[in-house]
Structure 1
Amino acid sequence: MEIGCLPSSPLRYVFCIFLLSSFIIQGQCRPIMLFNPSHTSFSFPNFNVKPSSEITLLGDAEVIADGESSVRICGSSPRTAGRLMYGRPVRLLQPLGPRSSVSFSSYFSFSMSSGNGDGLAFVILPRGNPLDGQWFGLSSAKGSVSRIPNLFAVEFDSAQNKEVMDINANHVGIDIESLISSKTADVSEIKLILNDGTQLHAWIDYDARSKVLEVRLSKSGLIKPSAPLISHSVDLSGLWKDEMYVGISSSSGDSSQNNVVYSWSFTSSPFHRPQHSHPVNPQAFSQNGRSSFHRRANDILDIFVALLFGTGCGAMAAALTMFLVWSLFTRRFGSTSTEFTAHPVDFGYEKISVTGGNDGFDNNIK
């Protein structure tokens, strides 16, 4: 039978090549995951929402109707603290391979009234971290210089505390498991004052591949500074637990300093995205949506690459299928034309031998 020739014919190799190509292309497409559990993205251009699973307000924090629906984290009275937290855990470890951190970025706008309050801090914390009344609400007075496990914070400090080696009362610092900053910068160098009531804009970017953390600060939310206020080389992979929580924490200290957050966005991704100096315009966020600009850009790129690979897979499958059909067609009809040829064939009688029984035949079907 003609089909019986397939296993021993060259078509077998074509079929094997087709399967191998399919597995290779599938392996190339596998990292493109449009819905990845390690990808977190949210945006609050304002807080005109009731506290829900997306927002958690702790301590003194409350939504205030000031025309912009902002969140006052603290300031109702001295010695108070509050937190604005994203209500769902985020995963900051790569889902596959050796233990390593993902990249993340956060933007928020805020203001601080005058006074010697503690200021506020962008924080990443494990579950169960207590809210205390001092040191950005992160620690009690007695524990200010002790280790705080799994703490990551970028502090915007408007008070100078010698106990934690603050450089002045107008600085930004990076805190890793301690309130003693591992890296600080004087905000006065960029001609800004944290606690003069001006609305400021902060960008925090961590590139997991280069292990560089950058902090930027500006009066304008439309222009992201090209030069960071702080650039710090640090490996954060050993800091994260499987689930962490992101938020903004504040304490008023000995004054009734009002610390207000107007907008906030955050995104993380296991895929490396090269950093650039183009600004993220907070006014470009949809008033009704919860997806940030970064997430939309990443998803569009992922969809484009997925379509590109899908087109390649389809083209290769179509080409191999056409070749397979053509090969079967030519083999079958070419054989038929030879079998029923009209030309006589002369046999040499001297070459014909007659055998009897089953001698010379193999009864086993191979």
Structure 2
Amino acid sequence: MERTFKKFISYVLLSVLFFGIITPALPAGAAPAATTKWVTFKYDDFSDTNISSVLSLNGKSAVVSDTGANPKRILRLNSAVDGRTGFSSGGSYGTVFSKQKIYSQNSFSFSTYFSFRFTEQGFASGFNAPVNNPSGITGADGITFTVQTMQSNAGTPGGGIGYSGITPSFAVKFDTYRNVELGDPSDSYIGLGVNGNINNILPTYNLLPIGYKLKDGSVYHAWVDYDGSTKNVKVYINKGSNNRNTAIKALDVNSVDLGTIFRNQDAVFAGFTASTGGAWENHDILNWYFTNNVDPIDTADPNTKYQQAPISVTMATAANSKPGKTQLTVTAKDSSGNPVGNVPITIKANSGTIEDLNGQPITPVPAVISANANGQAQVLLNMGSTPNTNPGSVTAIVEGGAYSVQDIPASPINLTKSDITNTGATLTWSAVTGATSYQLFDNGTLLTTVNNTSYAVTGLAAGTNHTYTVTAVKNNVQSAPSASVIVDIPGPAPTLPASPLPGTGPNTTKVTASAGAGNHLVTKVSSTLIPTPNVGDAAPTGAGVTNPYTAGA
């Protein structure tokens, strides 16, 4: 027993030594490499000089310098000064939305993180009632985080928090003025809004019982995660800390269906709204992260590195010399217009197939290609050989949600032939809406490109046949080919000698005739010349000759 135990200990020590050699431990204090995640927007502050090319600043919103020991550029949706001066004219508002829509990858799922601060509260006479300001601080009206498809400059002043009337839309409200008639639980709560309606018909969370007063000048951190597959939205908030793990889950609401709200839409604008009325304050956004998928953002996690995704994507197109094929060159760019390399790009079409440049279909579908160091991905759109009068479009989507769409033209119809001669024919077809040119193919080979809807084919060889198709080209995107039409070019007429020639037998006459390809030759020999064939005479031959010696008058 003791010997067996010693052998076991020896085996364990040997195993530890062996695996220690082939898998050395990390150096003391070393941490695993951080995971890189692309995000649609990554603003640690708002000092980007190209911000106006990315975000639409509306109403009184502006980028301003913050105060304090470490001043930075922040996003002020509207100011206390604007609120005070705007009171007599109906209030003040400010909104900020992405200039371009953000493509929805998963039933409008998204995750966002931002921090905000409300300061310098004030009010007009009659707007400081305790019922409206149970926190004991008078100011208004708060902000919303909003996704919407209306327009990038949407927004209104007053008690609607800048959100009233924006439809279709979904919003998370951080409300700082209690409107009893709207069902507000306090002047410091989180609620949800749909289609510009600020009435609290969905669950709310009152922050006062936990000591959170949104108007106290503190920095608050908020996280919103929407899962389109489960139709669930979660909202978290933390006071003075970006630690998501210690944040309070304020809302966890099911049956929020953005797919229904944004029916028949592919993309949204994302951003913030704010307003003031009879009371006012500075509404400041200090930083903002957003991604177009449900992937909870945690900027305090040392194992995650967030990277700004491309802000825009372009799609250059070139109609191929093969019927129905178009080369697509997709380029991802940052806010300065510089290429962003090594970023995933999704390319999908309503019809046709996405292929590599060698003509091989890319799987799985939709095709996902990693951009090269120059931010480019090149593929072929193959519309196949079957006519398609409702082909839809092709879309390139870069990680983060920037996208570009190109319409695919319909196949031409009514391709017909006329004026057929022994050297050519005329082809005509119906115009395709939006098409700027047409490509004509002869037996699958590009014959010519024309700008009108007819073409006279010339120079064809007698006795040949040709299968023609035509494609439409719109913005350099080529349609699927039309239905084909076949043109048969007739051969030359049969010829006979001017006078009979002597035969090889007694009392015979030799007749020589020929016919071009595609014609049939019928010979008739007068019985007065050749009552019967001579033995040994060679029979006439040729296309269509089935009875070489036919008696006739």
Please indicate, yes or no, whether the TM-score normalized by the shorter chain is above 0.5.
Answer: yes
Matched, 1:197 2:217: yes
Higher RCO, Cα 8 Å, sep 6+: 1
CA distance in 2, matches of 1:286, 1:93: 22
Which runs of structure 1 show a deviation greater than 4 angstroms over 4 or more consecutive aligned residues?
Answer: 282-287
**Corresponding residue number in structure 2 for 1:174:** 192
Within the candidate set 151, 161, 173, 1:155 is matched to 173
Which of 75, 78, 83 is residue 74 of structure 1 equivalent to?
78
Between stretches 213-222 and 250-259, larger displacement belongs to 250-259
Percent of paired sites with the same residue? 26
Q: CA deviation at 1:256?
A: 3.0
Q: Distance in 2 between matches of 1:259 and 1:132?
A: 15
By percentage of residues, which structure has more helix? 1
Check whether the contact 2:144–2:163 (CA below 8 A) recurs between aligned residues: no
1:254 partnered with 2:278? yes
Change (3 A) 1:254 1:242: same
The secondary structure found in structure 2 opposite 1:205 is strand
2:244 is the alignment partner of 1:206: no
Contact 2:60 2:82 in 1 (8 A): no
Opposite residue 99 of structure 2, the aligned amino acid is G
CA contact (8 A) 1:218 1:224 kept: no
| Residue 237 (structure 2) pairs with residue 217 (structure 1) | yes
Deviation, structure 1 residue 138: 2.1
Query: Who is 1:13 aligned against?
Result: none
State the SS of the aligned residue for 1:244. strand
Aligned in 2, Cα 1:199/1:183: closer, same or farther, shift over 3 Å? same
Aligned residues: 239
Please show how residues 219-258 of structure 1 align to structure 2 within 5 Å: 219=239, 220-225=241-246, 228-233=249-254, 234-240=256-262, 241-258=265-282
Q: 1:252 to 1:40 in 2, by over 3 A?
A: same
Superposed displacement of residue 125, structure 1: 1.6
Identify, as 1 or 2, the structure richer in strand.
2
Give the gaps of 5 or more residues in structure 2: 1-37, 84-90, 122-137, 311-342, 347-363, 365-553
Aligned to 2:148: 125
**Native 8 Å contact 2:117 2:283 kept in 1:** yes
Of residues 196-205 and 177-186 in structure 1, the stretch that sits farther from structure 2 once superposed is 177-186
1:118 is matched by which residue type in structure 2?
D
What secondary structure does 1:192 align onto? coil
Residue 137 (structure 1) aligned with residue 162 (structure 2):
yes
Which residue is 1:92 aligned to?
A: 104
Letter in 1 for 2:109: S
8 Å contact from structure 2 (residues 238, 248) kept in 1: no
TM-score normalised over the length of structure 1: 0.59
**Residue 280 (structure 1) aligned with residue 299 (structure 2):** yes
Alpha-carbon distance in 2 for matches of 1:92, 1:265:
16
Aligned to 1:163, what secondary structure does the other structure show? helix
CA shift digits 1:80-138 (9 cap, x unpaired): 110122222012364xxxxxx13210110000124321100001122336421121112
> What is the rounded CA distance, in whole Å, between the counterparts of 1:189 and 1:211 in structure 2?
28
Instruction: Tell me the equivalent position of 1:290.
Output: 308
For structure 1, the residue ranges without an aligned partner over 5 or more in a row are 1-38, 95-100, 293-298, 307-366
Q: Which amino acid in the other structure matches residue 69 of structure 1?
A: R
1:287-326 to structure 2, matched below 5 A, reads: 290-291=308-309
Q: Kindly tell me: are residues 53 and 201 of structure 1, through their superposed partners in 2, closer, same or farther at Cα, counting changes over 3 Å?
A: same
- C-alpha displacement of 1:60: 0.7
Question: Paired residue for 1:341?
Answer: none
